[in-house]
């Protein structure tokens, strides 16, 4: 049986936070109650990488994080504290960078490279497109921004910080320009042989070594070659001919969406898809990770972007076979509402976004949410339009390639052969835009049901624009196994991620706390408490070791920001009155709802962070500006608006009065949420720094340095709860509740889950087995006002059926009664974690 974490703690490794830094905080994490560090990718990434997802070498640890000895010392410290290491691995993609030897080999040798099958490239056009130029190719060339160079590694082009190798065959175009300047004897003979024998270029290593040696030995050759390179760099036509002789074509970055011929991670051109479905590639890509597992340095794996793989279940099965079924493994899988993890996945569960959405909704008032609709269109309409937008703007080339493949299939279908390729493509776009989940995986009964639902929605939305018979054909194709279906299944997650998470979410600001990875902000839960219990009961039965997350490196907002914004749903009318007042003070601006709700989350003391966030949000929305076409005038006006309201004293005073109320109830939500996370079925995961208050927005805001010295100093398991409550703004109350709760979690981790009726909509409770009772408040504006806590008599006569003698592990108070009154259970502390006394 493999080791299962009791609680994980996510660390973001980079040059500013290294193996040595992590080793120093292991004792603190152990004291907190963490059993496993959950590490961001640690293999060698591009120099200066802030996150590690841009791997360049699958066989080495990242030297920017420390040496092998540093890593071993970290592992030793973990072992001394009986702690494990869950490692984030990235099988889907690698960096398309000159630091990646596999990629450089493909650029240099094309179809003759031994690594050509490692990457997901369509070679039908004979050249690999590299959309790396900041302006059109001709302008770039004529401005001499691309330069030819030579060193011990051979000839290369440079374009600012990018370096591209030359195909060995093209060396002859350079060498033949300088051999006549070298004497005919000695190295001159050797050089002439190189320049005249095409066969020698097949051994590029020999060719480079020989040229480097001659360059060092022969002053005449060195001078001649330097002069030849200088002439080529000044001769645009010569440089153009040399570039044309390569296996790749450098191009303007804007054409990537239409003509790219390698699979990218989403729309990021410098992250190239890896074909881990190939057994050789699988072994090479996972070599160092598997070694670390064999060395017992790694105790768990987190698989990044599982939906990007050609055959996710196949990859996981092969991985578990190599691991010998001895490894805790979770996948980054974004589940939609009512979607479950495929049973064919041999893993412990997901990274916890499904929990995040369910627990977050516990603190949203459905009635108030309904009153916040305003003039917003249905979220489903926004999603549909934005998915079509990103298909057109970001993925038109990939979609056209799928359309071409589909047209080839249509030729063999007597009922579809007469449809034009453009008609087939239009129908495929409609179906892709209507997919309600990230992807299907097979043609199972469940997948067929999803496809049928999707086709039905596409028929409805396309109406008379698309011939209904096209959808009949698509349904036949998409419910039958084929290479086309697997390619399409690999494509739809990109459209979902960019269309929903990175576009629709920024165009729908009803309640931003619901605009979260895996969430559907358009859905109103009819009974959030029942949904929470149903989810936990299912997880306890089917996936008891899955992760439960509330903040991650990819969340749009931290858990404490969401906890504050959720309060808005409880006071919808008051919120709308305040908005009207603020707009009279500050004037209106497009989607100022997003700005004001962000301020609700983080307050008015982070002006520069909010300005940076507002610019990013506007570009993601792709309405007035975008990453592809920045609108400087609009962005300047947006930044001025954000700065102005921060500096407007009447607004600051009005906002502060309202925000005090929100912040108080947000703190109660945060405490309740962390207790629910720790004791729900699954493994609670903590994102770095969130054990104290953390008011962060989307990355890079959520990747700021963490003050671990402050956290270690603040960790007092024996602190006086009443004192912590009075000073709740310091955040030590959250740290205290977290540590006290984690201290007992292991004793109840596998106990049965049972929902407990609190007989009030303002509390939620459950038991784990016979010896643990959890009860927390919700929608607290309905029962108290700041600064009064929801304790004691505010609970009136509400009671639960859980007889016996119970001790609150947070306060050490003991309660005993056949019918436990909430006023006694929550007599002095707003959340309760009870063990049988």
User: How far is 290 from 295, CA to CA, in rounded Å?
Assistant: 9
Of 107, 23, 8, nearest in space to 749 by CA: 8
Do 306 and 212 lie in one domain? The reply is no
Judged against a pLDDT cut of 60, whether residue 801 lies above it is answered with yes
200 vs 641: which has the higher pLDDT:
641
134 phi, psi to nearest 5 deg: -80, -10
Tell me what pLDDT residue 193 has.
72
Residue 490 lies in a domain: yes
Do 115 and 216 lie in one domain? The reply is yes
Instruction: Find where tokens 């596999």 sit.
Output: 102
Please check whether residue 501 is in contact with residue 520, taking contact to mean a CB–CB distance below 8 angstroms. no
Paired tokens of 113:
């490279």
Do 425 and 455 lie in one domain? The reply is yes
pLDDT tens across 582-631, in order? 999 999 898 899 999 999 999 999 999 999 999 999 999 999 999 999 99
The residue from 226, 244, 265 where one domain ends is 265
Q: What is the mean pLDDT of residues 795-821?
A: 90
| Pairing, β 820-821 against β 814-817 | unpaired
Do 216 and 311 lie in one domain? The reply is no
Do 142 and 246 lie in one domain? The reply is yes
Residue 649 lies in a domain: no
Buried b (16+ CB within 10 A) or exposed e, 513-525: bbbbbbbbbbebb
Tell me what pLDDT residue 184 has.
67
Query: How is residue 61 annotated by DSSP?
Result: E
- The CATH number of whichever domain residue 190 belongs to comes to 3.30.1590.10
Residue 492 lies in a domain: yes
pLDDT tens across 132-156, in order? 999 999 999 999 999 999 999 999 9
**The whole model's pTM is what?**
0.95
Question: Alpha-carbon torsion 233, 239, 245, 246, what sign?
Answer: positive
Please check whether residue 679 is in contact with residue 745, taking contact to mean a CB–CB distance below 8 angstroms. yes
Please check whether residue 89 is in contact with residue 58, taking contact to mean a CB–CB distance below 8 angstroms. no
Tell me what pLDDT residue 219 has.
87
The SS3 assignment for 816 reads: strand
Contacts of 157 (CB under 8 A, 6+ apart): 146, 147, 148, 149, 163, 164, 166, 243, 250
Do 32 and 159 lie in one domain? The reply is no
Do 220 and 116 lie in one domain? The reply is yes
Do 114 and 236 lie in one domain? The reply is yes
H-helix or E-strand containing 754? strand 753-756
The residue from 472, 492, 507 where one domain ends is 507
H helices of 543-648, in order, are 559-567, 572-586, 592-602, 607-621, 632-647
Residue 668 lies in a domain: no
Tell me what pLDDT residue 437 has.
97
Residue 553 lies in a domain: no
Sheet holding 328-331, edge to edge: 349-350, 328-331, 300-303, 84-89, 36-39, 8-11, 683-687, 547-548
pLDDT tens across 711-744, in order? 999 998 789 999 999 999 999 999 999 999 999 9
Do 126 and 152 lie in one domain? The reply is yes
Do 322 and 446 lie in one domain? The reply is no
Number of domains in the chain: 3
Residue 817 lies in a domain: no
- Write out the residue range of the structural domain in which residue 213 sits: 101-265
The residue from 265, 300, 330 where one domain ends is 265
Tell me what pLDDT residue 803 has.
80
H-helix or E-strand containing 87? strand 84-89
Residue 318 lies in a domain: yes
Binning pLDDT at 50, 70 and 90, where does residue 186 land? Answer: low
Do 217 and 315 lie in one domain? The reply is no
User: How far is 213 from 233, CA to CA, in rounded Å?
Assistant: 23
Do 146 and 38 lie in one domain? The reply is no
Instruction: Find where tokens 């962070």 sit.
Output: 609
Tell me what pLDDT residue 71 has.
98
Phi/psi-derived region of residue 303, left when phi > 0, alpha when psi is between -120 and 50, beta in every other case: beta
Paired tokens of 334:
């974004």
Judged against a pLDDT cut of 90, whether residue 493 lies above it is answered with yes
- The CATH number of whichever domain residue 22 belongs to comes to 3.20.20.80
Residue 813 lies in a domain: no
């Amino acid at each position: 049986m493999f080791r299962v974490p009791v609680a994980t703690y996510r660390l973001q490794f980079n040059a500013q936070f290294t193996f040595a830094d992590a080793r120093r905080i292991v004792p603190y994490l152990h004291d907190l109650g963490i059993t496993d560090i959950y590490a961001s990718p640690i293999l060698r990434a591009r120099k200066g990488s802030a996150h590690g997802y841009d791997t360049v070498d699958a066989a080495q640890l990242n030297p920017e994080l420390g040496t092998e000895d540093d890593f071993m010392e970290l592992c030793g410290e973990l072992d001394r504290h009986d702690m494990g290491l869950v490692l984030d691995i990235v099988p889907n993609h690698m960096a398309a960078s000159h630091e990646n030897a596999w990629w450089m080999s493909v650029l240099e040798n094309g179809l003759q490279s031994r690594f050509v099958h490692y990457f997901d490239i369509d070679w039908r056009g004979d050249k690999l497109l590299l959309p790396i130029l900041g302006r059109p190719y001709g302008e770039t060339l004529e401005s001499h921004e691309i330069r030819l160079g030579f060193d011990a590694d051979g000839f290369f082009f440079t374009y600012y910080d990018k370096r591209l190798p030359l195909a060995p065959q093209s060396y002859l175009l350079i060498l033949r320009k300088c051999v006549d300047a070298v004497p005919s004897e000695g190295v001159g003979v050797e050089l002439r042989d190189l320049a005249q024998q095409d066969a020698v270029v097949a051994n590029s290593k020999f060719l480079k070594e020989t040229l480097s040696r001659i360059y060092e030995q022969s002053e005449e050759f060195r001078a001649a070659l330097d002069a030849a390179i200088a002439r080529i760099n000044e001769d645009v036509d010569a440089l153009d001919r040399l570039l044309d002789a390569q296996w790749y074509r450098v191009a303007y970055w804007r054409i990537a969406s239409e003509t790219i011929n390698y699979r990218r991670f989403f729309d990021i051109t410098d992250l190239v898809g890896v074909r881990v479905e190939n057994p050789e590639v699988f072994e090479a890509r996972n070599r160092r990770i598997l070694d670390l597992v064999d060395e017992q340095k790694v105790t768990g794996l987190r698989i990044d972007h599982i939906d990007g793989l050609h055959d996710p279940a196949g990859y996981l099965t092969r991985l578990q076979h190599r691991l010998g079924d001895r490894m805790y493994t979770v996948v980054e899988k974004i589940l939609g509402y009512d979607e479950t993890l495929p049973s064919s996945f041999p893993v412990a569960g997901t990274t916890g976004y499904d929990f995040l959405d369910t627990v977050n909704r516990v603190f949203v008032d459905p009635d108030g949410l309904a009153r916040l609709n305003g003039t917003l269109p249905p979220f489903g309409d926004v999603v549909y339009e934005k998915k079509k937008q990103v298909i057109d703007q970001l993925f038109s080339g990939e979609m056209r390639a799928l359309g071409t493949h589909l047209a080839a299939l249509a030729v063999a279908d007597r009922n579809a052969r007469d449809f034009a390729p453009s008609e087939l493509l239009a129908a495929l776009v409609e179906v892709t835009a209507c997919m309600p989940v990230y992807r299907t995986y097979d043609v199972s009964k469940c997948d067929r049901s999803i496809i049928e639902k999707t086709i039905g929605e596409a028929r409805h939305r396309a109406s008379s624009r698309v011939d209904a018979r096209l959808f009949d054909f698509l349904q036949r194709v998409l419910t039958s196994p084929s290479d086309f279906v697997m390619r399409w299944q690999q494509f739809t997650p990109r459209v979902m991620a960019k269309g929903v998470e990175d576009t629709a979410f920024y165009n729908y600001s009803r309640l931003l706390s619901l605009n979260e990875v895996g969430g559907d902000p358009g859905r109103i839960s009819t009974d959030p408490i029942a949904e929470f219990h149903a989810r936990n009961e299912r997880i306890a039965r089917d996936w008891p070791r899955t992760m439960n997350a509330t903040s991650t490196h990819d969340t749009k907002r931290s858990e404490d920001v969401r906890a504050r914004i959720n309060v808005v749903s409880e006071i919808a009318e008051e919120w709308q009155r305040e908005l009207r007042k603020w707009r009279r003070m500050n004037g209106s601006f497009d989607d100022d709802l997003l700005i004001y709700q962000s301020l609700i989350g983080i307050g008015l003391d982070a002006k520069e962070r909010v300005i940076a966030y507002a610019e990013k949000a506007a570009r993601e929305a792709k309405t007035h500006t975008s990453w592809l076409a920045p609108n400087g005038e609009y962005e300047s006006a947006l930044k001025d608006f954000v700065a102005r309201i921060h500096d407007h004293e009447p607004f600051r005073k009005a906002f502060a009065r309202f925000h005090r109320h929100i912040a108080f109830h947000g703190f109660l939500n945060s405490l309740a949420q962390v207790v629910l996370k720790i004791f729900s079925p699954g493994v609670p995961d903590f994102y770095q720094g969130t054990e104290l208050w953390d008011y962060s927005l989307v990355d890079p805001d959520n990747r700021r340095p963490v003050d671990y010295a402050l956290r270690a100093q603040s960790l007092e398991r024996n602190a006086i709860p009443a004192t912590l409550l009075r000073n709740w703004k310091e955040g030590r109350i959250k740290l205290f509740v977290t540590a006290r709760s984690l201290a007992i979690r292991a004793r109840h981790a596998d106990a049965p889950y049972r929902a407990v009726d609190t007989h009030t909509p303002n509390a939620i409770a459950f038991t784990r087995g016979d010896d643990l009772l959890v009860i927390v408040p919700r929608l607290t504006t309905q029962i108290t006002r700041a600064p009064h806590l929801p304790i004691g008599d505010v609970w009136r006569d509400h009671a639960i059926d859980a007889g016996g003698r119970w001790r609150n592990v947070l306060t050490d108070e003991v309660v005993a009664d056949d019918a436990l009154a909430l006023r006694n259970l929550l007599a002095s502390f707003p959340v309760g974690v009870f063990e049988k006394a």
